[in-house]
Structure 1
Amino acid sequence: MTHTTIAVLVGSLRTDSVNRKLAEVLRDQAPDGVSIEIIDGLGEVPFYNQDVDTATDIPASAARLREQVASADRVLAVTPEYNGRMPAVLSNAIDWLSRPYGAGALVGKPFGVVGATPTPYGGKWAHAEAVRSAGIAGATVVEDVTVSQSALEVDVLTDPEVQARLARAVEVLVEFDRETAAA
């Protein structure tokens, strides 16, 4: 059996974030043969600036982010939506992961996005923005993974239907085969 590692980028820095808790639930309920690793420290990564992204001197937090994502088999963003957009911390992470151009840590990685927001739309605009940005950065977007869940009338952490949709998203991401998708 092949082991699959999924790097998770959480788009909220808040300790008590529902999306962080969703990421933890996914990690704790990962299927056999799957490791879900939440990438901590995104708030420590400076805003992307090509002047500090040099071959000889890259901020340690950015280097660590790149190494963690590069060593993973898949990438999953678990994110809320801020004012109809992807949170800045997630956008910044994708910016760092997109470099060096054409050879960044996201290039060729199957990528999906899930999350919840206390709006009727469940974060769909942020999720679409994350998908677009990651795709431009070179990730292989797995469309059937996107789950945009409203948290208005359901407890997303305990609702069996929501949990099943999130678990299925992880399964689809794990089962995604780049060669089959390209054919």
Structure 2
Amino acid sequence: MANINLVGISGSLRKGSHNSLLLAEAARLFGNADYAEADINLPLYNADDEEAHGVPAAVDALARQLADADAILISSPEYNKGPSGALKNALDWISRSETKPWGGKPVAVMSAAAGRAGGERAQMILRAFLVPFRPRILQGPEIHLAASHEAFDGNGQLTGDIYVKELTELMEALRAEISS
């Protein structure tokens, strides 16, 4: 059997993003799989631009990458009590692509933020954003990585045993969801 194809979407465009680190840790803990992080650095959605120029090639490539995935990992920071604008913009653009990658796709959602709630509000809102696309969103365990600036060692690995345990459980649930 071919390797499982995992695609991660980080809601942060920042180099060295804690959400990108969390996704990489999730992929590592998932085990044997091909993993790639999607590029969501897209132009702002504007219906006039879409009408004049169509859906950008980068959006179609992103939608195809997600469609080809066996499962999707999404991690978002919390900006002003919600998911990042970059992530919402990517979801809006993907919805405009002829490729409809989300239907029935297993999706694991997580968040990493500097605050003590670990992006809990952003994650709740992100889950609601995904509902119209009808993916199979895993319900838990929920990963809200608090004080994310202190959560990784120099090699980018999680240091808190409880987070490693829960992220491992989430990845085991994702693996089971893929094979169901």
Please report the TM-score for the alignment, with normalisation by the length of structure 1. Answer: 0.82
**What residue number does 1:90 align with?**
87
Higher relative contact order (CA 8 A, sep 6+): 2
Aligned residues: 174
**Cα 1:121/1:167, change in 2 over 3 Å:** same
* Aligned counterparts of 2:148 and 2:14: Cα–Cα separation in 1: 19
**Identity in percent:** 26
Map Cα deviations across residues 8-44 of structure 1 (whole Å, 9 max, x no partner).
Answer: 1001111021111122223344412x2222113x11x
**Structure 2 residues without counterparts, runs of 5 or longer:** 153-157
* 2:145 equivalent to 1:149: yes
Query: Within 5 A, what are the aligned runs for 1:1-183?
Result: 1=1, 3-32=3-32, 34-40=33-39, 42-43=40-41, 45-53=42-50, 57-100=54-97, 104-151=100-147, 155-156=151-152, 157-176=158-177
RMSD of aligned alpha carbons: 2.5
Report the 3-state secondary structure (helix = DSSP H, G, I; strand = E; otherwise coil) of the residue aligned with 2:96.
Answer: coil
Distance in 2 (alpha carbons) for counterparts of 1:161 and 1:79: 20
CA distance in 1, matches of 2:148, 2:60: 38
Distance 1:19 1:153 in 2: 10
1:2 to partner: Cα distance: 6.2
Q: 1:145 to 1:36 in 2, by over 3 A?
A: farther
SS at match of 1:127: helix
Q: If each structure's helix is expressed as a fraction of its own residues, which one has the higher value?
A: 2
C-alpha contact 1:7 1:72 (8 A) present in aligned 2 = yes
Deviation at 1:53, TM superposition (A): 4.4
Relative distance call for 1:69 and 1:145 in structure 2 (3 A) is farther
| Residue range with higher mean Cα deviation, 145-154 or 112-121 | 145-154
